[in-house]
Amino acid sequence: MQIEGYKIQEYNNDHLKHHRHRFEFASSLASNIESIISKLVDFQVAIPSWALGAGGTRFGRFSGGGEPRNLEEKIEDVGLLHALNGSSGAISLHIPWDIPDDASAIKTLAAQLGLRFDAVNSNTFQDQASQPLSYKFGSMQHVNKEVRKQAIDHNIEVIKQGKALGSESLTVWLSDGSSFPGQLNFRKAFQNTLESLQEVYSELPSHWKMFVEYKAFEPNFYSMTVGDWGQSLLYATKLGRQAYTLVDLGHHLPNANIEQIVSLLLMEGKLGGFHFNDSKYGDDDLTVGSIKPYQLFLIFTELIDGMDYRGMNHAIDLAWMIDASHNIKDPLEDLLQSVEAILIAYTQALLVDKKLLEEARLNNDVVRAQEILQDAYRTDVRPIIAEARLRSGAALNPLQFFRQIKVREELIKDRGSKTVATGL
């Protein structure tokens, strides 16, 4: 399914008057409204190929129908999102869930829909039917060199696939670790992992980045070999200039101060990528902004501050990606909500008066500092984001339009109600 541009225009025209009214008020709240809008137009969030079907939990999976049956249909779905919101112009693939049969045809299809390929993701956390050795006791940390080699070779293969698609980064998330005390020699597990990562790193094209993603627990519940940002930073530093830490919002112990982590990683020039989701307990992979929108705003405030301090381009110098897996919502609706939540937090963070905030800090005026932040956070920036969408030819309200033209119903008609996408 593809949405014709004129239909979006018609829809926007029907809602233009109402929008103009709201936008006029919202734009009066910001002195730099044009610069904010152009930043919003540029800002793109990559959609993970594994989020286009219903996610499962260990207790089951409930497909809503019309799920993409192959990579082409996944790309088609991301194309739909991008047509609707103008901010989902990239896709991140997980190998081997999404191996392209014909890379150049896939590349052409993506380009037609205005999409590029973001980081490619390797997978050594599951055993594939065709693979000779098991990752039950880890992959890059494994005590058996042959298993480590298999994991290294897989990552090199993923780089190869990514090169064919025009991707420029590799994300390595390892489930390696241990579930019981005594199971693992921590030092040896670290060394093995580092050496394995080094072998992969040496195969990276010179313009590529490697992201080392950490996670505090799950599937291992006693130790994780890349368990926190300190460990990730250690690997990334030892690997070299092309290696970076990747922060996934759901991968921390409860109540971790993620905004501080982000700030320090940026200070060190070692923050490379970001996985957005939300959670209440663990790696819940819920819709971005559905549980802790204030935390998301605080994180964005540090992201912008740190990026501006280093003269980085918000739109392209970090890899922005959603990493969520929803088990009860329509995956496309959920992704529209997630992208919107990201843009809201980003815009609010752009509204923070940094000069006044710094002044308040220098005067130890704690109350004033809080007021400045919350002033920005409590601004309804949605009309500003809608304006950015209007200017990029996307829908004023993507979710409403999605329902109005019955996208899911169309997809079910095309693909059937029993389809199940590859992924989690």
Query: Which stretches of the chain bind ligand RM4, using CB under 6 A?
Result: 50, 121, 173, 213, 215, 248, 275, 283, 323, 424
340 binds, among ligand RM4, Mn ion, none (CB under 5 to 8 A by kind): none
* Separation in Å, CA 116 to CA 109, 112, 279: 10, 10, 28
148 binds, among ligand RM4, Mn ion, none (CB under 5 to 8 A by kind): none
Three-class SS of residue 244? Answer: strand
Least distance to ligand RM4, CB of residue 215, Å: 6
Alpha carbon distance 44, 393 (integer Å): 15
Total number of residues that touch Mn ion (CB under 5 A) = 4
Question: Which ranges constitute the DSSP H helices of 113-185?
Answer: 145-165
Which amino acid would we find at residue 415? R
Q: Output 26 or 249, the one with its CB closest to Mn ion.
A: 249
Q: Output 8 or 45, the one with its CB closest to ligand RM4.
A: 45
Alpha carbon distance 351, 262 (integer Å): 19
Least distance to ligand RM4, CB of residue 60, Å: 18
Q: Output 339 or 372, the one with its CB closest to ligand RM4.
A: 339
Q: Are strands 223-224 and 271-276 parallel, antiparallel or unpaired?
A: unpaired
Least distance to Mn ion, CB of residue 283, Å: 4
Please answer whether residues 362 and 356 qualify as being in contact, where contact means their C-beta atoms are separated by less than 8 angstroms. Answer: no
Q: Output 44 or 175, the one with its CB closest to Mn ion.
A: 175
- 271-310: which residues touch Mn ion (CB under 5 A)? 275, 283
3 binds, among ligand RM4, Mn ion, none (CB under 5 to 8 A by kind): none
Query: What is the phi/psi pair of residue 212, to 5°?
Result: -105, 110
**Judged by CB under 5 A, which of 118, 168, 278, 323 binds Mn ion?**
323
Sign for the CA dihedral angle at 14, 15, 21, 24 comes to: negative
Q: How open is the CA angle 94-157-247, to the nearest 5 degrees?
A: 45
Stretch that binds Mn ion, among 73-81, 229-237, 321-329, 373-381 (CB under 5 A): 321-329
- 204-263: which residues touch Mn ion (CB under 5 A)? 248
Q: Output 123 or 192, the one with its CB closest to ligand RM4.
A: 123
Least distance to ligand RM4, CB of residue 92, Å: 8
* Separation in Å, CA 148 to CA 98, 143, 185, 189, 210: 23, 8, 16, 11, 18
Least distance to ligand RM4, CB of residue 216, Å: 11
Q: Output 11 or 244, the one with its CB closest to ligand RM4.
A: 244
Q: Output 26 or 288, the one with its CB closest to ligand RM4.
A: 288
Least distance to ligand RM4, CB of residue 325, Å: 7
Q: Output 154 or 275, the one with its CB closest to Mn ion.
A: 275
Alpha carbon distance 320, 46 (integer Å): 6
424 binds, among ligand RM4, Mn ion, none (CB under 5 to 8 A by kind): ligand RM4
Task: Provide the token pair at 136.
Answer: 């039950």
121 binds, among Mn ion, ligand RM4, none (CB under 5 to 8 A by kind): ligand RM4
Alpha carbon distance 415, 168 (integer Å): 32
Least distance to ligand RM4, CB of residue 224, Å: 11
- Report which residue's Cβ sits closest to ligand RM4: 173
* Separation in Å, CA 261 to CA 211, 228, 229, 248, 348: 16, 10, 7, 11, 20
In the sheet where 116-117 sits, what is the strand order? 116-117, 90-92, 46-48, 319-322, 271-276, 243-248, 209-213, 169-173, 120-121
Least distance to ligand RM4, CB of residue 420, Å: 16
Q: How many residues does the chain have?
A: 424
Residues lying near Mn ion in the complex (CB under 5 A): 248, 275, 283, 323
